[in-house]
Amino acid sequence: MSPDLPPVAPSVTAALVAALPPRLRKRLDAGVTKLLARPVTRDGDTVRIAVDDGTDVVLHAPGGSVTGADAIRCGCLLAPDCLHRAAAASAAPVAEDTPDPNAAGESGSAEDPGPAGEPNPGADGDATKGTAEGEQREPETATSAQHAAAHAVFDAAAAVLEAGTDGAGAVLQAELLHAAHTARLAGLPRASAAAVAVVTAVRAARAADPAYRLGDLAGALTAVLDVAHRLPHATGPELSALRGTVRQPYRPDGSLRLYGLFSEPVLTATGYAGAVTWTADADGRLYTVSDVAPGGPARATGAADRAVRVGDTTLTHRELSRAGLAVSGATVSPTGRLGAGAGVRAVRASGAAWQDEPLDRLWAVPAADQVTRALEGGQDVLFLEVTLTGTVRETAGDCLLADCAGVSLRLAAAHDDPALPCRENLRLLAAAAGSRLRIVARLTPGPHPRALLLAVAHPTDPAARVDLGLDRLQHADLPRETFVPPGGGAAGGDEAPLHLLRRRVHQAVPGGRRVLALAAGTPGDAARLRRLGLATAADLLDDLRTAAADRSRDVFGRLVPADRGRFARSWLAAAVYTEVVEQALCVHAWGGAARAAAAPATA
């Protein structure tokens, strides 16, 4: 996947790959690799790839993304049914199908329309029955088109899981993108978005993208398989949640008095970049203002100095993070994002320091309560007061160690891209061991307390703050009396017995079914899980290995195709179980009540 190319809509990639004859499909992965090595030039909305001295592939991306197959043109003799067009679409980031909620046309005064293709409950006899007065309605169920779309998504995602990232080439990716497009047309935007997220992560893995994380791809596969598996059987509110919405509803919220908290850069694997500024009102409710569009690291750093898109204010994101905002006619999404409709008015107001009211109350909430709230579906941003104690070395780089009310906490950089100062700022903070600071971090769920560091109070000026993804710390900003060379401690191992199941779940993601099939005859892990009291985990591990190794033969002794559906369901059950138990361990590790947060039903 090349960040130099504009994002391409899933339906475009699926159509171009489907149009290839079988002989060219076999060469598609090699074509993508070759195209990624060719020079790319951009001229406004036009991106040109030099295939060779006399042939170019041209991508026309008005508005920043390619939305039609005719927007990708090639000058070779085989065009338009050539390999180059499909390879270019497969090499580009996947465009997000959802419209920008902050677009100029967003009214922000009422709930946004439902997803395209959303069934009318009163028009489908399978969805609702008994409309006469006094007659009880039956629970709404998915339509036949949604059943078919959910099965298509599940089958395509199961094929990717069976092959693993090593075997999930451009053809399997295109099949999953086609299923995502079908789901979107059927009114299933949540399944569509989850499928696109898997393709994006698979491409990052195959391209050895430094930002790729195995856990992220495993989570994306879990999400898409879970939604597609549960949706055909869901009814009522559960069905509505599984369907999702194309765009979040923005509802009127009257007048707001907001205080800036911090800004963070946004840099996604799908080719989008920008900045998000977090604010809070007098009651401690969080609101965000975002400016995210197609782009790379330069846009992520530059967006902080752009004016926020709320009303007529000229405040930049960097300024708003330390000032305030008075908004009238505000519209807000369920996640707290401020709308930018024509009726919204905003003017600059005074801000507040983190240790002053009303922001001080954010740090008064116990860490365990904040973690529980995040795991139950709330904002995953934590407001903590910590004492820096040193560093610990991990595979992905050094982490800060901190003490948070007796809890040993690891703080990692939010972004690894060298264009952003996150990693360098973390290294400098490691030299301030002994400093007690207020921080803002994003929870990383797991059996050990861990978070991504977003912002900190200035080490020598508590009234100031540092946005670690946008501002650059200097040695002069550190307290001299606590300056020590960064430590190099070794990372502690994850000895929780659950890792015996988790590592098999993760092992299947890059290697596919065949990797687990090779390990089917080693029952030692399951026996150890049973000895430690995790009988359910042991049963799930046994079932996963059995499903991976299950290959029957026909009457002539030939191997028949594996039941990828069974393997996907076994893997999903193990993945969901691991996620639920890890959430419970996460709450316990942060010192909260030993109860798991709300989690999806098991597969």
Buried b (16+ CB within 10 A) or exposed e, 140-161: bbbbebbbebbbbbbbbbbbbb
Within a domain: residue 129?
no
Verify that 152 and 237 share a domain, yes or no.
yes
More confident residue, 560 or 411: 411
Q: How far apart are CA 402 and CA 408, in angstroms?
A: 6
Within a domain: residue 100?
no
**pLDDT band for position 118 (50/70/90)?**
very low
Contacts of 357 (CB under 8 A, 6+ apart): none
Residue 433 has a pLDDT of 85
Residue 128 has a pLDDT of 38
Residues 54-77 have a mean pLDDT of 88
The pLDDT tens digits for 485-537 are 444 443 444 445 888 899 899 999 999 988 888 765 566 888 888 888 889 99
Structural tokens at position 200: 């994006």
Residues 66-88 have a mean pLDDT of 88
- Of 243, 266, 288, the last residue of a domain is 243
Asked whether the predicted pLDDT for residue 107 surpasses 50, the reply is no
More confident residue, 497 or 547: 547
Residue 453 has a pLDDT of 95
Verify that 371 and 435 share a domain, yes or no.
yes
Verify that 151 and 211 share a domain, yes or no.
yes
Verify that 237 and 256 share a domain, yes or no.
no
Asked whether the predicted pLDDT for residue 222 surpasses 70, the reply is yes
C-beta separation of 512 from 160 below 8 A:
no
Residue 244 has a pLDDT of 87
- Of 213, 243, 273, the last residue of a domain is 243
Within a domain: residue 504?
yes
Domain that holds residue 216: 144-243
C-beta separation of 90 from 32 below 8 A:
yes
Verify that 371 and 484 share a domain, yes or no.
yes
Q: How far apart are CA 447 and CA 494, in angstroms?
A: 8
Q: How far is CA 335 from the centre of its chain?
A: 15
Residues 220-229 have a mean pLDDT of 95
Residue 134 has a pLDDT of 45
**pLDDT band for position 224 (50/70/90)?**
very high
Asked whether the predicted pLDDT for residue 50 surpasses 70, the reply is yes
Asked whether the predicted pLDDT for residue 482 surpasses 60, the reply is no
Query: DSSP H helical segments within 250-338, as ranges?
Result: 297-302, 317-320
Verify that 300 and 402 share a domain, yes or no.
no
| Domain CATH code at residue 341 | 2.40.50
Verify that 343 and 402 share a domain, yes or no.
no
- Of 433, 458, 489, the last residue of a domain is 489
The pLDDT tens digits for 144-159 are 999 999 999 999 999 9
Asked whether the predicted pLDDT for residue 182 surpasses 90, the reply is yes
Within a domain: residue 97?
no
Residue 488 has a pLDDT of 42
Going by C-alpha positions, the residue among 90, 86, 40, 69 that lies closest to residue 200 is: 90
Q: How far apart are CA 194 and CA 187, in angstroms?
A: 14
* Residue 331 CB-density burial (10 A; 0-12 exposed, 13-18 middle, 19+ buried): buried
> What share of the chain has pLDDT > 90, as a percent?
40
Q: Residues, the chain, total?
A: 603
**pLDDT band for position 562 (50/70/90)?**
confident
Verify that 305 and 415 share a domain, yes or no.
no
Residue 267 has a pLDDT of 86
Within a domain: residue 124?
no
Verify that 373 and 344 share a domain, yes or no.
no
Place of tokens 């007659």: 135
Verify that 377 and 464 share a domain, yes or no.
yes
Q: How far apart are CA 338 and CA 319, in angstroms?
A: 17
Verify that 519 and 544 share a domain, yes or no.
yes
How many folded domains does the chain comprise?
5
Q: How far apart are CA 422 and CA 361, in angstroms?
A: 27
Residue type, 505: V
Within a domain: residue 399?
yes
Structural tokens at position 206: 């195959």
Verify that 227 and 263 share a domain, yes or no.
no
Asked whether the predicted pLDDT for residue 471 surpasses 50, the reply is yes
Residues 202-218 have a mean pLDDT of 86
Within a domain: residue 3?
no
Residue 157 has a pLDDT of 95
Asked whether the predicted pLDDT for residue 318 surpasses 60, the reply is yes
Asked whether the predicted pLDDT for residue 226 surpasses 50, the reply is yes
Within a domain: residue 57?
yes
Ramachandran category for residue 557: left, alpha or beta (phi over 0 → left; psi -120 to 50 → alpha) = left
